[in-house]
Amino acid sequence: MVCLDTTFIIDLMREKKSGIKGPASLKLMELMDRKEVPKTSIITVSELYVGPYRVEDARELEKVERIVEEMDVLNITIGTVKRFGKIVAKLYRAGKPIGVMDAFIAAIAVENGEELVSRNTKNFENVPGLRLETY
């Protein structure tokens, strides 16, 4: 089971727009061959909406909405919030702080037993219990 990170989905969108099958597209094909159900976190969904609203582009907004409709969206629960607190505190104590959005994405993935698919390994590599798959 996998959870798609924001960078992965943005890379997919860029590759589709350019017509090039790049690393994200190839990883998606691999995931589909493995019969993975596309999932993402509510945090990733919120990050995806920033771009179209920032540039006020209705076409980009439609693209985001189509992508979101095609995936299961993992939400925040009390368990997720507790795990988020543990992740942030542990990494802070270790001198390896993590951004709030990344900490929530990681917490959602770990709480749901999902492997996170991202090329942004630096932001996630120190999260305890997080299984990370790159492309």
The predicted-structure confidence for 6-19, as pLDDT tens digits, reads as follows: 999 999 999 999 99
The predicted-structure confidence for 68-125, as pLDDT tens digits, reads as follows: 999 999 999 999 999 999 999 999 999 999 999 999 999 999 999 999 999 999 999 9
Give which of 26, 114, 50 is closest to 130, Cα–Cα. 114
Q: What is the spatial distance between Cα 27 and Cα 16, in angstroms, rounded to a whole number?
A: 13
- Amino acid 81 reads V
Quick one: 2-133 is in which CATH superfamily? 5'-nuclease (3.40.50.1010)
Q: What is the spatial distance between Cα 8 and Cα 102, in angstroms, rounded to a whole number?
A: 13
Q: What is the spatial distance between Cα 82 and Cα 104, in angstroms, rounded to a whole number?
A: 10
Give the strands of the sheet with 132-133, arranged side by side.
72-74, 39-41, 2-4, 115-117, 132-133
DSSP 8-state code for residue 38: P
Task: Report helix, strand or coil for 132.
Answer: strand
User: What residue spans define the domains of the chain?
Assistant: 2-133
Give which of 14, 16, 81, 10 is closest to 40, Cα–Cα. 10
Q: What is the spatial distance between Cα 112 and Cα 1, in angstroms, rounded to a whole number?
A: 9
- Amino acid 123 reads N
Q: What is the mean pLDDT of residues 55-76?
A: 93
